[in-house]
Structure 1
Amino acid sequence: MSAVILALVAGAVIGLALGALGGGGSVLAVPALIYLLGFTPVAATTASLVIVTITSVTALSAHARDGNVRWRTGLLFAAAGIGPAMLGGALADRIPEPALMAAFGVVAAVAAARMLRPAKAAGTVAHVRPGRAAAAGAGLGAVTGVLGVGGGFLAVPALVGVLGMRMRNAVGTSLLVITVNSLAALATRAGTVDTLDWAVVGPFIAAAILGAWDGKRLAGKVSGPTLQRIFALVLLAVGGFMLIDAML
């Protein structure tokens, strides 16, 4: 099977997950780029940042039209992650590939565990601790910069639990945070973006965007918890495989 066809299939599946679940699907972009399309871990994380940035901007525009983005709060939260995202992006190519893959496997496992955990109702936080909010934003930025993942599975719980946002607003605002962090990380990798195989990355992005629209329709036909459990189990298997592969 040609690389372009594999890119279209992988992009469609990831876009489907993003559209149906509202986040987490981009975690599969890096393993798909490595194991299906032959990218090195460093090139895969750079390509994933490009994919995450473009798909996040596309989804952000839709949420903004619906009034679900809290711009001021999102920009303040993202500001804490800009420095760590840039530092992580600069350090990514200095991290040994087995360590990078092992770290990604751990993050995938954490994402799966969060998805399998019963959802908590969003509440209002009476007193937001600035230090805690800044730490959450910085941690998300570092994960985005090093591993090239959007981090919606980390951003949404942080915005709900730390800042007391309603779930719908948290999902929309998380896209703003992810976009800012991804752009910051890409700024430190500008010299490597031109070396990407755009004949593969381009179709991957296009299929992901189209798949996200189908994912929204799928979400209306299949219960959210069922879709989330299925995706979480797939993600757990992928994370476990990457950890084992990194140790061999």
Structure 2
Amino acid sequence: MTLLLAAAAGALIGLSLGALGGGGSILAVPVLIYLLDQSPAQATTGSLVVVGLTSLIGAAAAHREGNVLLGRGFVFGLVATGGAVLGAAASSRVPEDLLLAAFAALMLLVGVILAWRQIRHGQDSQSSQDSQDSAAGHAARPALDDPIITFSPTFACQCPRALKVLGTATIVGALTGFLGVGGGFLVVPALLLALALPIEYAAGTSLVVITITSAAALAVRSGSGVQPDWTAVIVLTAVSAAAAVAGARLADRVDTGRLQAAFTVLVLGVAIYTATQALPALA
């Protein structure tokens, strides 16, 4: 029964990652802790496997749909690996109660941000979707001809933009390494603002970034001696990956606004429950 609940949660994780380019990964840690009885250290390590493999498969599916810019995603992901390594190293030095409390705080923050976006854009969501659909129908795939730093024929640097990318990527990587989350809720806005990606490519490209940062963090954590229950992790990963493929296909065919709204409610509910479990342990 527990594995069936975990499979259902894995489907939600995969759908969110595939259709929305992020968010679902933040559910992996609570699922591993409260449904599959893992410790916080085990859960944040196992989550990297779930998130990394699901994102990899989702990125491949999104690439087949033409919604991924591999070059920009790969570069952003490489920049983010520094933060991922530092975050993963720091997680092994933090007490588990504090680790879970930090995760609960992050989850509450993400839930509030998602809810604020839903409330702010609720009234004009339909007009925004119509505009995006029209743009997607006529816009050509953006060319990779606007580099931030060039060395030939002369050196040139869009330094403010480069610093924005560096700062955002480092934060994303640190969250991935420390808490075992993919950071898609940060990656998508970063790709929109820092790299000026069109919205129709940001979700798919973010999966490339999440794959790279998750792999880097997992490589560091592999030497810590913390081993999750691999059976549970494999089940969760398999269901999540299959759902990510379906989510990537749905992204071009359905209005994801309702999925985002339902996901916001779910994140807030899980965040509140996680906080009620984590905070008393610190007292």
TM over 0.5, yes or no? yes
Q: Which has the larger radius of gyration?
A: 2
State how far apart, in whole Å, the 1-side matches of 2:226 and 2:275 are.
29
In structure 2, the partner of 1:36 is: 35
TM-fit CA distance, 1:74: 2.1
Find 2:186's aligned residue among 154, 157, 163. Answer: 154
State how far apart, in whole Å, the 2-side matches of 1:232 and 1:205 are.
22
In structure 1, the partner of 2:199 is: 167
In structure 1, the partner of 2:110 is: 111
TM-fit CA distance, 1:97: 1.8
In structure 2, the partner of 1:230 is: 262
CA distance 1:193–1:64, shift in 2 (3 Å): farther
Matched ranges for 1:105-144 at <5 A: 105-116=104-115, 117=117, 118=121, 129-144=161-176
User: What 5-or-longer segments of structure 2 have no aligned partner?
Assistant: 133-141, 149-157
Bigger mean CA offset, 83-92 vs 50-59: 83-92
Normalised TM-score (structure 1): 0.87
State how far apart, in whole Å, the 2-side matches of 1:56 and 1:193 are.
25
CA distance 1:237–1:178, shift in 2 (3 Å): same
Matched ranges for 1:73-88 at <5 A: 73-88=72-87
8 A contact 2:20–2:203 mirrored in 1: no
Which deviations, in whole Å up to 9, do the C-alpha atoms of 1:31-77 show, x marking residues without a partner? 01001111001100100000111001101112222333223322322
User: What 5-or-longer segments of structure 1 have no aligned partner?
Assistant: none
8 A contact 1:47–1:193 mirrored in 2: no
Bigger mean CA offset, 198-207 vs 213-222: 213-222
CA distance 1:131–1:17, shift in 2 (3 Å): closer
2:271 aligned with 1:239: yes
8 A contact 2:55–2:241 mirrored in 1: no
CA distance 1:231–1:145, shift in 2 (3 Å): same
8 A contact 1:81–1:139 mirrored in 2: yes
2:208 aligned with 1:176: yes
Q: Secondary structure at the match of 2:67?
A: coil
Give the counterpart letter for 2:30 in structure 1: P
TM-fit CA distance, 1:14: 2.1
State how far apart, in whole Å, the 1-side matches of 2:224 and 2:57 are.
23
Q: Supply the RMSD in Å over aligned alpha carbons.
A: 2.8
8 A contact 1:92–1:146 mirrored in 2: yes
8 A contact 1:6–1:37 mirrored in 2: no
8 A contact 2:45–2:226 mirrored in 1: no
CA distance 1:29–1:138, shift in 2 (3 Å): same
In structure 2, the partner of 1:197 is: 229
8 A contact 2:80–2:169 mirrored in 1: yes
Bigger mean CA offset, 75-84 vs 197-206: 75-84
In structure 2, the partner of 1:64 is: 63
Normalised TM-score (structure 2): 0.77
2:108 aligned with 1:101: no
* Runs of 4+, deviation exceeding 6 Å: 119-122, 124-127, 217-222
TM-fit CA distance, 1:106: 2.2
8 A contact 1:83–1:141 mirrored in 2: yes
8 A contact 1:109–1:240 mirrored in 2: yes
CA distance 1:41–1:194, shift in 2 (3 Å): closer
Bigger mean CA offset, 80-89 vs 20-29: 20-29
